[in-house]
Homo-oligomer: A and B are copies of this chain.
């Protein structure tokens, strides 16, 4: 494997197999062609719109769209087309700063190929022999990517919460980081990718945060999302990213972003430097 292999794996979405999903004239998602029939069967909520699938234009308020689509999602979930609900809703909007057209249950977001956002935090420690990074192992009974390596703290970005607020909340819930330490989280950019999995399309954006931790701080397993935390020298983290598929797919990109910003990757010695740096944002414009 290589850094670029992870970037390619995250960007495996082949749009030829998908049709645009529109709400109120705006392109907000990508639906897999073989899933279109599930929506076409619900002409009371969806309509074909010149090669696209759209929410019926007559369903024209935030509340009506949200409840009409939620009912279809419930049905698709019962018949196993969409994963079990996670009882969390995500906004469907033209942009994260714009008022959403509606909300959709988190587990159905890939089915509609709507962009989800999340927050990922790399916690690190400066030791005498250089930077060390805290790595998490996801719980073995977690619904998604069980047992895989993960960034120290990460979570989806639900509707109605600020990024920082969400990040600090997750720091407490996932790693027992007290607020007085978590409030030092620093926003450092984001990564974009366009992934495709059995669930559908994930044209996602993960907002990246760094948190420098005191040398004596040890994270605590709080909510059972994580099985263990390990403090690794940055070179080991980089090696595991580069050589293995042990990290959950998108965490590799968040770590690569860290390696770039902290000077661990060097344009003089890394032959793929330009492609690696460019690759963290290469497919951010799927909805323009």
Binding site for B on A (CB under 8 A): 95-97, 162-165, 186-190, 192, 205, 207, 210, 260-263, 265-268, 271, 274, 277-278, 281, 284-285
Contact = CB atoms under 8 A, between A and B. Distances in A.
A96 B271 CA distance: 10
Contacts of A271: 97
Given A189-B261, A189-B277, 5 more contacts: A162-B268, A164-B268, A165-B268, A187-B268, A207-B267
Nearest to A97: B271
A257 to B, nearest CB: 9
B262 A186 contact: yes
Copies in the complex: 2
Given A205-B274, A278-B281, A278-B284, A266 B187 contact: yes
Contacts of A260: 188-189
Nearest to A210: B263
Contact of A187 (B95, B165, B265): B265
A187 B267 CA distance: 8
Contacts of A267: 163, 187, 190, 207
Contact of A281 (B96, B164, B263, B281): B281
